[in-house]
Structure 1
């Protein structure tokens, strides 16, 4: 559980430069899928999805339940499920649940459910999708659920929440470019806050907290095009081979060179998909000798060729 203060998040060392690079490469895309006033009793079940989801108590309190726990969510709290696990939200644990799709469709049709009696809650639910073909250790480093409590009105996070809420009410729609972009901003704010204030990080996020590993990650993210070897990484980072490999493996369950290879291919995926650069240009930007070498590595990693991705023929 994380308590929000009114202070602004500050970048510390290279942590958030690396994080922003990862976020940009994974190309998170936000949207609001449910926004409604509700009259108790009410309950909504949500199936598992491979995308982070969050719920915001704009007015009133509610309960969220997963296979592992139940948490009370107070007014102005935000709860996020980064791994998209199956869960439910309700005014009380005993309330009957309806599928999220049914509740969402009713809102879209202008005939929302749970409207009989006095309005007790207003909730807003969002999700953030990303290119699932790309894997990165940050996705494994996030917990199944985290809870932000007592967010203050003047906190930048709540400012973004109010902007989304106001835009939905102004347009009478949950879908617009502005709402989607603000939802992405909110996700990034929550992620930054979680990292800045949580003392028990693991995996990739713990590596960002380790000054020596963060230096290595910064080198690889800033200069993926360099002809890195384990020896040159160690020289730049001022670490022995044994120490670097041991620490890297302990936190990321990867060797430094395996991480670099995976990161280069993640960058390649986005450049192939979202730019008009030639494969030779892309290879030069991310540290491959030539297009042929990149093409072979890309096909081996993703199971389809760069040309198939660019033509939209890949099954992703």
Structure 2
């Protein structure tokens, strides 16, 4: 797999590409259908299946405080795109240069000269170039003279509703992990490295693995039954994701997971937390003792879930 960062590094590309462009946040079923089409066309044309991403995402560049919560970080996207057979990922920094590029210049410099595009697949609502003046109709006009074919993406529906990152965010925020799983074709998960928190859990016999989310906002909040992957082994547990209002609200959300029957030092290790079902919303308690009692109830609720609803896959 080839990862190319920045406009100036497009000179590294010497082979023809079949290209799609987008945020690909979450890599859901709709995205997967697009990637399958990209791979199919690339194989037929002896070209490289290529995905173009922007960092930051345009919505984050223009309105960072209002941008939607990310379902997947850049690193997560790269790993997922590789797993779906994409051989080239181009990450363009969304900055003033990209913002001010005219649609014609974008087609010429990025699609033709840079990517050597043979086939381009984008949504019919795709907008690009300065002031978002470029659209699918313009691409249809420019494509023949530029030497590539453009087609719009198929619509993927589940239960009569369009699959989208927005829909998945709504489901996660409401705690519907099962429906989100359907649209993602996998359980929603968060990866990160374990760091040292306040270590309050240890004082009450409930040590937690603390993971900094490294994002402005989280796509889900509350207490969940989870599976956690540590050093290649799966463990059951319970996790809280939020600002921990009882022990002093934090400015940005964090994730802490308690693993059942687990007593190892995993500081600095990468873990994956898989969210299975929501147990309750995060809430402020009047005392630490009251919080401690609720934690015990959360643990029991999670254990009951695993006994009644879930079998661990070894």
Given the two structures, how large is their TM-score scaled by the length of structure 1? 0.25
Q: Which has the higher contact order (CA 8 A, sep 6+)?
A: 1
More helix by share: 1
Please report the TM-score for the alignment, with normalisation by the length of structure 2. Answer: 0.25
Larger strand proportion of the pair: 2
